[in-house]
Structure 1
Amino acid sequence: MGKKVNPIAIRLGITTSWKSKWFGGRNFAKNLQEDVRIREAIMSHWKSAAIADVSIERRSGMTKVIILTSRPGMLIGRGGTGIEDINRLIKNKFFAGKKIDLKVEVKEIRQFEENAQLVAQQVAEQLEKRMPFRRVLKSTLEQVQKNNKIKGKCPDGNGLQKGPYHCILFERILIFPGRLPELPMEQLE
């Protein structure tokens, strides 16, 4: 019988790292809640910036927020005004009245096709704009398949692909032309 394991926990230290890097001590719960709220605020405020991940590092008196995005120009803005806006938002919402050194760093993801989170966001944005779903899925599958770092797999019996875009599985997203992702990994085995 198989056991259910958190997919992030099983990859920690191998292919992924912690999203929060700090030692909390007695303030662990408060810091963890703060980190989750900071991530939610950044993700909701800058939805169109294609943010893949937000990492937070804390040291004594200093907090560093690292944002991974495929569109860094939207976050940075002209002359770095966007980073100042992010700084102001975080300081006013979460560190009001505290003396803390806050640094925001924006890192670019050059090929968004390598990141399943960004691919899923792109598909969702296009579907929200009422684009034809078959065209959206076909073009997304073609873009992802051009990139050799993500491999495709079909859940049928022999594992062969039937046609140019029968189906593809990358990380935790399963896309079939004609319907939205809904099958979890456990049903494939």
Structure 2
Amino acid sequence: MGQKVHPIGFRLGITQLHLSQWYASKKYYSKYVLEDHFLRTILKKQYAKAGFEKIEISRKIENHIEIVIHVQKPAVLIGKKGPTEGLQKEIKKLIFKYRGLSSGFNEPNQGPNDNDLKRLKVVLYVIKCKTKTNASASSIADFIIENLEKRVPYKIVFVLLKKNLKYNDQKPLGMKVQISGRL
């Protein structure tokens, strides 16, 4: 049996960019990696219906975080009004929650005060995906998971998937799906 290579890790730096772009000393490196992972998992859990493609995080300086979110339905994230200030404040609070900063809190169970929120700068860009279809691997997987959780029979899920992909302009050239467990 041959050795398996992760397809994204194999291409990083050549044809694809890293999803986190920053430099940190030994002291902060592991903290930033875990903080990025925490942000990605929480955002994907809270806004599962947005159809995330990828979340890029870059840090220029210590308290400046730039987040680029590629989604299929940006209205789920930012609402119909449009401004992202509410989402930025929510992300700041998530970061404070993860870091466990208690120095700026008035009470142990209250959130950070205005001075702490002003020190941390979060720049947020929400970008709608370029593809007209749901032909990306993550969106296809989300479609299958969503329907299987609704207890739709798996054969019908694949028929629905074919119909959805058939009526769009850009169709994938091929697809292989593996499902295991009790179906």
**Could you tell me the TM-score, scaled by structure 1's length?**
0.72
Aligned pair count?
157
TM-superposed deviation, 1:150 = 2.7
Match of 1:155 in 2: none
Distance 1:147 1:105 in 2: 27
Indicate yes or no: 2:60 matched with 1:39.
no
Distance 1:102 1:25 in 2: 21
Residues 18-56 of structure 1: CA deviation (Å, up to 9, x unaligned): 110111123111111110011111111111111121110
Identity of aligned residues (%): 27
Match of 1:28 in 2: 29
Distance 1:149 1:64 in 2: 33
TM-superposed deviation, 1:120 = 0.6
Q: CA RMSD in A?
A: 2.2
Q: Please, which of 145, 163, 166 is the counterpart of residue 124 of structure 1?
A: 145
CA distance 1:136–1:38, shift in 2 (3 Å): same
2:64 and 2:120 in contact (8 A); partners too: yes
Q: Please, which of 58, 69, 72 is the counterpart of residue 70 of structure 1?
A: 72
1:102 alignment partner AA: V
Distance 1:28 1:149 in 2: 41
1:104 alignment partner AA: L
CA distance 1:67–1:112, shift in 2 (3 Å): farther
- Specify every segment of 5 or more residues in structure 2 that has no aligned partner in the other structure, as ranges: 97-111
- Specify every segment of 5 or more residues in structure 1 that has no aligned partner in the other structure, as ranges: 153-167, 176-180, 183-189
